[in-house]
Chain A
Amino acid sequence: MSQLEVEDLEVYYETEEGPAQAVDGVSFELEEGENLGIVGESGCGKTTLAKAIIGILPDAGYINDGSINFQGDDLTEMTNAQRRRLKWEEISMIAQSAMNSLDPVYTIREQIVEAIETHRPGTGRVESDEIVTEMFELVGLDPERADDYPHQFSGGMRQRAMIAMALALEPSLMLADEPTTALDVIMQDQILKRMASIQEEINSSMMVITHDVSVVAETCDRVIVMYAGKIAEEGPVEEIFDQPYHPYTIGLKRAFPNIRKSSQDLLSISGYPPELIDPPQGCRFAERCPMATDKCREEEPEAHYKNGLRSYCHYADEIDAELRPYADDPTTWNQAAAATDGGVGE
Chain B
Amino acid sequence: MSGNDVLLEVDDLKKHFKVNQGWIASLVESFGSGEPDYVHAVDGVSFELREGETLGLAGESGCGKTTTGMSLVKLHDPTAGDIVYDDTRLSEASDAEIKQFRQNAQMIFQDPFESLNPRMTVYDTVAEPLRIHNIRNETARVQRALEFAELLPPEQYYDQYPHELSGGQRQRVAIARALVLDPDFIVADEPVSMLDVSLRAGVLSLLDRMTDEFGLSVVYISHDLSLLRHMCDRLAIMYMGKIVEKGPTDEIIENPQHPYTQALINAVPVPDPGVGRERVELQGEVGDVIDIPTGCRFKNRCSEYIGDVCDQVVPPLEAKTDFEQDVACHLYDSAEGYDPYQDVTGSPSAAETGEEPESTPADD
Q: Mark A residues whose CB is within 8 Å of B.
A: 41-42, 151-152, 154-157, 184-190, 192-193, 211-215, 217-218, 237-238, 241-242, 251-253, 255-262, 264, 266-270, 272, 330, 334, 337, 341-346
Q: Shortest distance in angstroms between B235's beta carbon and chain A's nearest beta carbon?
A: 12
A260/B272 in contact, CB under 8 A:
yes
Q: Shortest distance in angstroms between A308's beta carbon and chain B's nearest beta carbon?
A: 13
Which of the segments B41-49, B70-78, B164-172, B290-298 contacts the partner chain? Answer: B164-172
Which of B157, B225, B226, B253 is the most central at the interface, judged by chain A CB atoms within 10 Å of its CB?
A: B226
Asked whether A151 and B198 contact (CB < 8 A) given A256-B226, A258-B270, A346-B165, the answer is no
> Bound complex: CA of A212 vs CA of B197, how far in Å?
8
B25 in the interface (beta carbon within 8 A)? no
The 6 closest A-B pairs by CB, nearest first: A268-B202, A268-B201, A189-B267, A266-B201, A269-B198, A214-B271
A185/B197 in contact, CB under 8 A:
no
**Sample of 10 further A-B pairs with CB below 8 A, known A217-B273, A258-B272, A268-B202:** A156-B285, A184-B60, A185-B223, A214-B270, A217-B269, A241-B273, A259-B253, A262-B229, A269-B198, A345-B164
Contact with A along B310-353 (1 / 0, CB 8 A): 00000000000000000000000000000000000000000000
User: Looking at the complex, which one of B152, B157, B254, B264 makes contact with A185 (CB distance below 8 Å)?
Assistant: B264
How many residues of chain B have a CB within 8 Å of chain A?
50
Q: Shortest distance in angstroms between B238's beta carbon and chain A's nearest beta carbon?
A: 12
Q: Mark B residues whose CB is within 8 Å of A.
A: 30, 32, 60-61, 150, 152-153, 156-157, 160, 164-166, 169, 196-202, 204-205, 223-227, 229-230, 250, 253-254, 263-275, 279, 281-282, 285
Which of B196, B205, B224, B254 is the most central at the interface, judged by chain A CB atoms within 10 Å of its CB?
A: B196
Q: Shortest distance in angstroms between B325's beta carbon and chain A's nearest beta carbon?
A: 15
> Bound complex: CA of A215 vs CA of B281, how far in Å?
17
Asked whether A217 and B272 contact (CB < 8 A) given A186-B267, A341-B152, A345-B165, the answer is yes
A-B contact pairs, 5 of them (CB 8 A): A186-B263, A257-B226, A262-B254, A344-B166, A345-B160
A342/B269 in contact, CB under 8 A:
no
Kindly list chain A residues whose C-beta atoms are within 8 Å of the C-beta of B225.
Answer: 185, 259
Kindly list chain A residues whose C-beta atoms are within 8 Å of the C-beta of B201.
Answer: 255, 266-269, 330
B274/A238 in contact, CB under 8 A:
yes
User: Looking at the complex, which one of A188, A213, A241, A259 makes contact with B274 (CB distance below 8 Å)?
Assistant: A241
> Bound complex: CA of A211 vs CA of B199, how far in Å?
12
Report the nearest A residue to B250, measured CB to CB. Answer: A262
A258/B271 in contact, CB under 8 A:
yes
B268/A218 in contact, CB under 8 A:
no
Kindly list chain B residues whose C-beta atoms are within 8 Å of the C-beta of A211.
Answer: 196-197
B198/A255 in contact, CB under 8 A:
yes
Q: Shortest distance in angstroms between A300's beta carbon and chain B's nearest beta carbon?
A: 21
Kindly list chain B residues whose C-beta atoms are within 8 Å of the C-beta of A157.
Answer: 285
A346/B271 in contact, CB under 8 A:
no
Kindly list chain A residues whose C-beta atoms are within 8 Å of the C-beta of B275.
Answer: 260
Which of B199, B201, B267, B268 is the most central at the interface, judged by chain A CB atoms within 10 Å of its CB?
A: B201
A237/B271 in contact, CB under 8 A:
no
> Bound complex: CA of A214 vs CA of B205, how far in Å?
21
Q: Shortest distance in angstroms between B261's beta carbon and chain A's nearest beta carbon?
A: 12
Kindly list chain A residues whose C-beta atoms are within 8 Å of the C-beta of B61.
Answer: 155, 184
B156/A345 in contact, CB under 8 A:
yes
Which of B150, B157, B198 is the most central at the interface, judged by chain A CB atoms within 10 Å of its CB?
A: B198
Asked whether A193 and B279 contact (CB < 8 A) given A41-B197, A42-B196, A218-B269, the answer is yes
